[in-house]
Amino acid sequence: MKHQPPPPPLPLSQPPSMGATVAGGVASVISTMNGNSSSGIEAVKCRPPIYPKPKTPSFDKDRDYIGFATLPEQVHRKSVKRGFEFTLMVVGESGLGKSTLINSLFLGDLYKNRQMPNVEERIEKTTKVEKKTMDIEERGVRLRLTVVDTPGFGDAINCEDSWRVCTQYIDEQFRQYFTDESGLNRRNIQDNRVHCCLYFVPPWGHSLRQMDLDLIRRLHRKVNIVLVIGKADCLNKQEVRKLKERILQDLEDNHIQLYQFPECDSDEDDDFKQQDRELKASIPFAVVGSNTILEVAGKKVRGRQYPWGVVNVEDPEHSDFIKLRTFLISTHMQDLKDTTQDVHYENFRAQCISQISQHALRERGKLKRDSISSTNGFDAAISETDRLLLQKDEEIRRMQDMLTQMQEKLKQTHLMEMKKNDSVIDV
């Protein structure tokens, strides 16, 4: 008997025939309904993420089996029980469809109560971070998604502060994690580190602007940057291709390294390699978002209605939206987290440790000098222990908060349960 690897869950929104339900290019709804569409290629490109099968060596004899091949399943089970956390930062000037795209990606309503600032407010306001968290569940898998938005970016006249707000936010999360990880209560650490930064480039420029380059240069060693060309439905295919080429050239010329796709193992199967190549080749992703559901050929699609046709967000011929979603969520989300942990956070941590030890050395030097000249080093020692005590007080306060939150949650759950029981009885 052979062990079958976990089958790849197919994204329900992407049955293989999906690409054909809406016509590519400027074809109208009517022509689509008549089946007048170029199906084949899109259908293939539009396929769900592929997980190649792990190797399944055959065993000659029954007794060659020990049993540890279940280890990945043990890990799988545990991860489901624990749940996942992911933080996405969205950077780019107003009007590039950031919020719409996020809502399209996560089918959420994160920005439903948003009020558009008027021009005066926009000119006044500085770049300010806005953080939204939602707990979502899909097929028994729980995800705590945090979206960090920088809504005023580019609106204020002084753009130089923009990068400071972003880097400060990223560093703060790293610092918090560093404190938590160095503390004694490590089992309940919340990971608020930014795992990915979607950087929106406007479609109307000829390439990256100096402002973009400045910001990206300041971020690329701190966070996984993924470039996205927003509102790409104002560019035709050729224009998209050209813009992508220029952007990649700019990045190369400026020695900027965005998030690197991990190398595809040579033993992966061909479909997976092909999908990987396609994803890589699409960078930077040219996307169109929409929260409007249109009915096209009897199917409901997220789209944008123009007098000359319907842009179907999920049609790979129309935009890279599905590729971005596949990459960001279905295939590389864990790698983005791992890269954050192994590369970006470790860099930050190394800097921290180096600063701390330099500080300690200076402190010791001071004390020694003091003790030799028998002056007052007492203050320094007290302030050091003071700092330690304050740190611990801070940790205790944090834990108290957590306890209160959990108590509240427990109470809520209890109440909900009681209520539910009531309603069940009512029925």
- Are 24 and 36 in contact by the 8 Å Cβ rule? The answer is no
* Minimum CB distance to a copy of itself smaller for 140 or for 307: 140
Tell me which residue of 135, 123, 186, 201 sits closest to 159, measured CA to CA.
123
Stretch that binds a copy of itself, among 120-128, 155-163, 205-213, 335-343 (CB under 8 A): 335-343
End-to-end CA distance of the chain, in Å?
Answer: 48
Single out the residue of 132, 164, 364, 387 in contact with a copy of itself (rule: CB under 8 A). 364
Neighbours of 35 (CB within 10 A): 11
Question: Judged by CB under 8 A, does residue 356 bind a copy of itself?
Answer: no
20-39 footprint of a copy of itself as x/- string (CB under 8 A): --------------------
Shortest spacing between CB 366 and a copy of itself, in angstroms:
9
Residues 6 or more apart from 317 whose CB is under 8 A from it? 19, 24, 25, 38, 41, 42, 45
Gap between the Cα atoms of 265 and 273, Å rounded:
8
Question: Judged by CB under 8 A, does residue 119 bind a copy of itself?
Answer: no
Question: Judged by CB under 8 A, does residue 17 bind a copy of itself?
Answer: no
Question: Judged by CB under 8 A, does residue 392 bind a copy of itself?
Answer: yes
- Are 23 and 31 in contact by the 8 Å Cβ rule? The answer is yes
* Minimum CB distance to a copy of itself smaller for 29 or for 399: 399
Q: Please, is 47 exposed, middle or buried when counting C-beta atoms within 10 Å of its C-beta (0-12, 13-18, 19+)?
A: buried
Question: Judged by CB under 8 A, does residue 46 bind a copy of itself?
Answer: no
Gap between the Cα atoms of 348 and 182, Å rounded:
14
What's the sign of the alpha-carbon dihedral 62, 65, 67, 69? negative
* Minimum CB distance to a copy of itself smaller for 236 or for 354: 354
Shortest spacing between CB 131 and a copy of itself, in angstroms:
19
Question: Judged by CB under 8 A, does residue 75 bind a copy of itself?
Answer: yes
Q: Tell which phi-psi region holds residue 219, choosing left (phi > 0), alpha (psi between -120 and 50) or beta.
A: alpha
Stretch that binds a copy of itself, among 127-135, 140-148, 149-157, 201-209 (CB under 8 A): 140-148
Single out the residue of 30, 134, 234, 353 in contact with a copy of itself (rule: CB under 8 A). 353
Question: Judged by CB under 8 A, does residue 413 bind a copy of itself?
Answer: yes
Q: Which of residues 77-116 bind a copy of itself (CB under 8 A)?
A: 77-81, 84, 86, 105-107
Stretch that binds a copy of itself, among 47-55, 92-100, 170-178, 193-201 (CB under 8 A): 47-55
Collapsing DSSP to helix, strand or coil, 170 comes out as helix
168-207 footprint of a copy of itself as x/- string (CB under 8 A): ---------------xxxxxx-------------------
Neighbours of 322 (CB within 10 A): 25
Single out the residue of 206, 407, 419, 422 in contact with a copy of itself (rule: CB under 8 A). 407
Gap between the Cα atoms of 151 and 90, Å rounded:
9
- Judged by CB under 8 A, the number of residues near a copy of itself is 122
Stretch that binds a copy of itself, among 113-121, 237-245, 273-281, 345-353 (CB under 8 A): 345-353
Shortest spacing between CB 324 and a copy of itself, in angstroms:
11
Single out the residue of 7, 119, 120, 210 in contact with a copy of itself (rule: CB under 8 A). 7
Question: Judged by CB under 8 A, does residue 10 bind a copy of itself?
Answer: yes
Q: Which of residues 245-274 bind a copy of itself (CB under 8 A)?
A: 265
* Per-residue three-class SS string for 360-377: HHHHHHHHHHHHHCCCCC
Shortest spacing between CB 367 and a copy of itself, in angstroms:
5
Question: Judged by CB under 8 A, does residue 132 bind a copy of itself?
Answer: no
Neighbours of 214 (CB within 10 A): 16
Question: Judged by CB under 8 A, does residue 140 bind a copy of itself?
Answer: yes
What single letter denotes the amino acid at residue 49? P
Question: Judged by CB under 8 A, does residue 404 bind a copy of itself?
Answer: yes
Q: Which of residues 285-324 bind a copy of itself (CB under 8 A)?
A: 293, 300, 302
Shortest spacing between CB 371 and a copy of itself, in angstroms:
4
Gap between the Cα atoms of 94 and 117, Å rounded:
11
What single letter denotes the amino acid at residue 83? G
Cis, bond preceding 54 (omega within 30 deg of 0): no
* Minimum CB distance to a copy of itself smaller for 102 or for 148: 102
Tell me which residue of 266, 271, 311 sits closest to 16, measured CA to CA.
271
